[in-house]
Amino acid sequence: EGLVRVRGKGNKVRELPVGKAARQALEAWLPLRAQAAPEDGAVFIGHSGKRLTPRAIQLRVRQAGVRELGQHLHPHMLRHSFASHLLESSGDLRAVQELLGHADIATTQIYTHLDFQHLASVYDRAHPRAKRKGNADGGNDP
């Protein structure tokens, strides 16, 4: 639906895709935010008009998690879930690396955890000797 420019660790800037709902929410928020603190370029600001600190974001995410889901959440948990779900649905570790902004793919692998059932499913779909309909020998060989 669109792209947003984000600044990550080390002041590194990259563009990321966003869906329609997120884009519309940003388009509605940014004019209001600009009125509250025109001198600060941060997207998320507090009541004082200054950018939110990492600790303030952690507290807000935690409070929202308890209020809405009855569980403690933290920003890193959301990032980890995003990476895991994206990898599970796409199987594209390189794309997940780009979306997370990791320079080293080994860092991306830390965020990912695949359960055995998912790995078996990928194997069954992709491996030429995997069991498939119409496979005469049953395909039980590795």
Query: What is the 3-class SS of 52-110, one letter each residue?
Result: CCHHHHHHHHHHHHHHHHCCCCCHHHHHHHHHHHHHHHHCCHHHHHHHHCCCCHHHHHH
Question: What's the distance, Cα to Cα, between the start and end of the chain in Å?
Answer: 42
* pLDDT value, residue 38: 86
* pLDDT value, residue 142: 52
Q: Is the pLDDT of residue 131 over 70?
A: no
The 10s digit of each residue's pLDDT in 25-64 is: 999 999 999 998 888 888 999 988 899 999 999 999 999 9
d(CA 78, CA 61): 9
* pLDDT value, residue 134: 45
Phi/psi for 56 (5° steps) reads -65, -40
Mean predicted confidence (pLDDT) in 110-120? 69
Can you give the pTM of this predicted structure? 0.70
pLDDT category, 24, cuts 50, 70, 90? very high
Torsional sign, CA 24, 25, 26, 31? positive
Token couple for 35? 């009125």
